Structure 1
Amino acid sequence: MDSGVMINTLLILFILWIVFRRFLPMQGVKQITTADLKSELKNIDKQFIDVRTPYEFRSRRIKGFKNIPLSNLPHQTNQLSKDKEVFVICQSGMRSLKASKVLNKGGMNTWH
């Protein structure tokens, strides 16, 4: 096999591995449907965080959610209890996934 072809093949495999890992669910981070979230909102033993910007949060929010923007989350995890599950939302799901990973690394069980 030509060394140039081998290098290109390895590069493609490496890129595919990175993409696959990025979208693979992280251990301790679970997804929840909107319908299931509605029933969870009644549970006072859970924490609900909206990681959108303050402007986005003010313009459209769900009652019961606390706004901690994703950019501030690493510095404000001390406001959350490790003993309670955390439900995280955003606009499209990308920021909530990132936030769930941050919280999971801090020892919290999260849903997004």
Structure 2
Amino acid sequence: MFPTKGIRMITTKDLKSELKDKKKQFIDVRTVNEFNGNKIKGFKNIPLHELKQKAVTELSKDKELVVICQSGMRSQQACKQLKKLGYNQVTNVKGGMNAWQ
């Protein structure tokens, strides 16, 4: 998996220290069932297939977006979509929920 220009990559260990940051928005792009089965407190569920429609109304361009999925692949796609939609501060969590402990 190659990092995309302008998308910051963090580990789940880094994520733990960033979760309390009120200047960030935390987005989980897994399906509703995946999210309900196992989630991190503070993350909002916006499934990847709904991201384009919901980003405009539910996400602020003034705050950094931290995106997670199950393995890091869908969140990488989501980060690319968000960049195209004009979100400048986008972060992908490497390894996703598989790496979260």
Q: TM-score range, shorter-chain basis?
A: 0.7 to 0.9
Query: Any idea what the Cα deviations from partners look like across 1:40-79, whole Å, max 9, x if unmatched?
Result: 1000110000000000000000000000000000111111
Aligned partner (choices 54, 58, 61) of residue 82 of structure 1: 61
Greater relative contact order (CA < 8 Å, ≥ 6 in sequence):
2
The yes-or-no answer on 1:39 pairing with 2:17 is: yes
TM-score under structure 2 normalisation? Answer: 0.85
Unaligned runs of at least 5 residues, structure 2: 93-101
Matched positions, count: 90
Q: When the two structures are superposed, what TM-score results if normalisation uses the length of structure 1?
A: 0.77
Structure with the largest fraction of strand = 2
Q: Which runs of 5+ in 1 are unaligned?
A: 1-22
Deviations 1:82-101 (A, max 9, x none): 11000000001110000000
Question: Are 1:94 and 2:65 matched, yes or no?
Answer: no
- Return structure 1 stretches of 4+ with deviation > 3 angstroms: none
* Percent identical: 58
Structure showing greater radius of gyration is 1
In the alignment, the residues of structure 2 paired with residue 91 and residue 24 of structure 1 have an alpha-carbon distance, to the nearest angstrom, of 17
Is the helix fraction higher in 1 or 2? 1
Indicate whether 1:71 and 2:49 are aligned.
yes
